[in-house]
Amino acid sequence: MKCQFCEKPATFHITELTEPTGPQVMHLCEEHAKGFLHKGASSPMAAIATALAKQLGQSGDDLEELDQKECPVCGITFREFRNSGRLGCPYDYTHFEADLRPLLINVHDRTDHAGKHPQRSAGTADSQARMIKLRSEMEEAIKSEDYERASEIRDELKNMAAPLNPPNTETDDQS
Protein backbone atom coordinates (compact mmCIF):
# COMPACT_ATOMS: atom_id res chain seq x y z
CA MET A 1 0.00 0.00 0.00
CA LYS A 2 1.26 3.48 -0.85
CA CYS A 3 1.43 6.55 1.35
CA GLN A 4 -1.58 8.79 0.82
CA PHE A 5 0.71 11.80 0.31
CA CYS A 6 3.41 10.31 -1.97
CA GLU A 7 4.35 7.21 -3.95
CA LYS A 8 6.46 5.58 -1.21
CA PRO A 9 5.22 2.43 0.54
CA ALA A 10 3.11 3.13 3.62
CA THR A 11 4.75 1.70 6.74
CA PHE A 12 2.43 3.32 9.29
CA HIS A 13 -1.31 2.68 9.23
CA ILE A 14 -3.28 4.82 11.67
CA THR A 15 -6.99 4.37 12.37
CA GLU A 16 -8.70 7.23 14.18
CA LEU A 17 -11.96 6.25 15.90
CA THR A 18 -13.01 9.69 17.14
CA GLU A 19 -15.06 10.79 14.11
CA PRO A 20 -18.86 10.29 14.33
CA THR A 21 -18.93 9.30 10.65
CA GLY A 22 -16.80 6.23 11.36
CA PRO A 23 -13.14 5.32 11.52
CA GLN A 24 -10.68 7.47 9.62
CA VAL A 25 -7.66 5.55 8.27
CA MET A 26 -4.31 7.13 7.40
CA HIS A 27 -1.57 5.33 5.46
CA LEU A 28 1.79 7.11 5.81
CA CYS A 29 5.36 6.51 4.74
CA GLU A 30 8.02 7.05 7.38
CA GLU A 31 8.82 10.56 6.14
CA HIS A 32 5.20 11.73 6.32
CA ALA A 33 4.77 9.96 9.66
CA LYS A 34 7.66 12.09 10.98
CA GLY A 35 5.96 15.20 9.59
CA PHE A 36 2.78 14.11 11.30
CA LEU A 37 4.71 13.96 14.58
CA HIS A 38 6.08 17.49 14.12
CA LYS A 39 2.67 19.05 13.57
CA GLY A 40 1.87 18.88 17.26
CA ALA A 41 -1.82 18.97 16.55
CA SER A 42 -4.06 19.95 19.42
CA SER A 43 -6.82 17.64 18.17
CA PRO A 44 -7.31 13.97 19.01
CA MET A 45 -4.66 13.36 16.38
CA ALA A 46 -2.08 14.58 18.93
CA ALA A 47 -2.67 11.39 20.92
CA ILE A 48 -2.01 9.36 17.79
CA ALA A 49 1.15 11.36 17.11
CA THR A 50 2.37 10.60 20.63
CA ALA A 51 1.71 6.90 20.14
CA LEU A 52 3.51 7.01 16.80
CA ALA A 53 6.52 8.72 18.41
CA LYS A 54 6.66 5.94 20.98
CA GLN A 55 6.54 3.37 18.19
CA LEU A 56 9.42 5.11 16.45
CA GLY A 57 11.17 5.06 19.81
CA GLN A 58 12.34 8.66 19.59
CA SER A 59 11.21 12.14 18.73
CA GLY A 60 11.40 13.24 15.11
CA ASP A 61 14.50 15.39 15.71
CA ASP A 62 16.33 12.58 17.50
CA LEU A 63 15.42 10.14 14.74
CA GLU A 64 16.65 12.55 12.05
CA GLU A 65 19.96 12.94 13.90
CA LEU A 66 20.29 9.16 14.30
CA ASP A 67 19.58 8.63 10.58
CA GLN A 68 22.70 10.68 9.75
CA LYS A 69 24.98 8.49 11.90
CA GLU A 70 27.41 6.62 9.62
CA CYS A 71 29.67 3.59 10.11
CA PRO A 72 33.34 4.58 9.66
CA VAL A 73 34.20 1.18 8.13
CA CYS A 74 31.53 0.47 5.50
CA GLY A 75 29.83 3.88 5.33
CA ILE A 76 26.25 2.68 5.85
CA THR A 77 23.98 5.18 7.55
CA PHE A 78 21.40 4.26 10.14
CA ARG A 79 18.69 5.42 7.69
CA GLU A 80 19.98 2.91 5.11
CA PHE A 81 19.86 0.20 7.76
CA ARG A 82 16.28 1.07 8.70
CA ASN A 83 15.21 1.10 5.04
CA SER A 84 16.89 -2.18 4.08
CA GLY A 85 16.88 -4.04 7.40
CA ARG A 86 20.49 -5.07 6.77
CA LEU A 87 23.72 -3.81 8.24
CA GLY A 88 26.76 -3.23 6.06
CA CYS A 89 29.55 -4.92 8.05
CA PRO A 90 30.17 -6.67 11.40
CA TYR A 91 31.54 -3.45 12.88
CA ASP A 92 28.05 -1.90 12.57
CA TYR A 93 26.96 -3.91 15.61
CA THR A 94 29.64 -2.14 17.64
CA HIS A 95 29.17 1.30 16.08
CA PHE A 96 25.35 1.32 16.33
CA GLU A 97 25.20 -0.75 19.54
CA ALA A 98 23.34 1.78 21.69
CA ASP A 99 20.83 2.41 18.89
CA LEU A 100 20.31 -1.27 18.03
CA ARG A 101 19.89 -2.46 21.62
CA PRO A 102 16.23 -1.32 22.00
CA LEU A 103 15.40 -2.78 18.58
CA LEU A 104 16.98 -6.15 19.43
CA ILE A 105 15.17 -6.30 22.75
CA ASN A 106 11.88 -5.41 21.06
CA VAL A 107 12.28 -8.00 18.29
CA HIS A 108 14.12 -10.85 20.07
CA ASP A 109 13.45 -10.15 23.78
CA ARG A 110 17.22 -10.31 24.37
CA THR A 111 20.51 -8.88 23.18
CA ASP A 112 22.73 -11.96 23.34
CA HIS A 113 22.85 -14.71 20.70
CA ALA A 114 20.93 -17.84 21.63
CA GLY A 115 21.25 -19.93 18.46
CA LYS A 116 23.82 -21.97 16.61
CA HIS A 117 27.27 -20.65 15.71
CA PRO A 118 29.17 -21.57 12.56
CA GLN A 119 31.90 -24.18 13.04
CA ARG A 120 34.36 -21.97 11.18
CA SER A 121 34.25 -18.59 12.81
CA ALA A 122 34.75 -15.57 10.57
CA GLY A 123 36.85 -13.94 13.28
CA THR A 124 36.15 -10.93 15.39
CA ALA A 125 34.31 -7.87 14.20
CA ASP A 126 37.62 -5.97 14.33
CA SER A 127 39.38 -8.45 12.03
CA GLN A 128 36.45 -8.43 9.61
CA ALA A 129 36.43 -4.63 9.62
CA ARG A 130 40.18 -4.67 8.93
CA MET A 131 39.64 -7.04 5.99
CA ILE A 132 36.92 -4.80 4.55
CA LYS A 133 39.20 -1.78 4.87
CA LEU A 134 42.09 -3.67 3.22
CA ARG A 135 39.88 -4.74 0.30
CA SER A 136 38.88 -1.13 -0.35
CA GLU A 137 42.56 -0.06 -0.09
CA MET A 138 43.47 -2.79 -2.59
CA GLU A 139 40.81 -1.55 -5.02
CA GLU A 140 42.17 1.99 -4.69
CA ALA A 141 45.73 0.75 -5.30
CA ILE A 142 44.57 -1.04 -8.44
CA LYS A 143 42.75 2.06 -9.67
CA SER A 144 45.89 4.15 -9.16
CA GLU A 145 47.93 1.38 -10.86
CA ASP A 146 50.06 0.78 -7.76
CA TYR A 147 50.17 -2.98 -8.38
CA GLU A 148 52.99 -3.61 -5.94
CA ARG A 149 50.95 -2.18 -3.06
CA ALA A 150 47.88 -4.09 -4.30
CA SER A 151 49.81 -7.38 -4.22
CA GLU A 152 51.07 -6.61 -0.69
CA ILE A 153 47.49 -6.01 0.45
CA ARG A 154 46.35 -9.19 -1.34
CA ASP A 155 49.00 -11.20 0.51
CA GLU A 156 48.00 -9.63 3.82
CA LEU A 157 44.36 -10.55 3.15
CA LYS A 158 45.39 -14.14 2.35
CA ASN A 159 47.35 -14.35 5.62
CA MET A 160 44.37 -13.01 7.55
CA ALA A 161 42.01 -15.51 5.87
CA ALA A 162 44.38 -18.49 6.32
CA PRO A 163 43.22 -19.32 9.90
CA LEU A 164 39.63 -19.10 8.68
CA ASN A 165 40.18 -21.72 5.96
CA PRO A 166 42.20 -24.59 7.46
CA PRO A 167 43.55 -27.16 4.98
CA ASN A 168 41.49 -30.30 4.46
CA THR A 169 42.96 -32.85 6.87
CA GLU A 170 40.59 -35.73 6.13
CA THR A 171 42.29 -38.97 5.16
CA ASP A 172 40.89 -42.03 3.51
CA ASP A 173 40.97 -44.51 6.37
CA GLN A 174 38.69 -47.09 4.85
CA SER A 175 39.68 -50.34 6.57
| pLDDT tens per residue, range 96-146 | 888 888 777 777 777 777 777 666 666 677 777 888 899 999 999 999 999
Within the chain, what is the greatest distance between any pair of CA atoms? 85
Percent of the chain beyond pLDDT 90? 13
Using the predicted structure, report yes or no on whether residue 168 has a pLDDT greater than 60.
Answer: no
Domain map (residue ranges) of the chain: 12-59, 68-108, 125-164
Question: What is the DSSP code string of 61-119?
Answer: HHHHHHHT-B-TTT--BHHHHHHHS--SSTHHHHHTHHHHHHHHHHHHS-SS--S---S
User: Is the overall model pTM greater than 0.85, yes or no?
Assistant: no
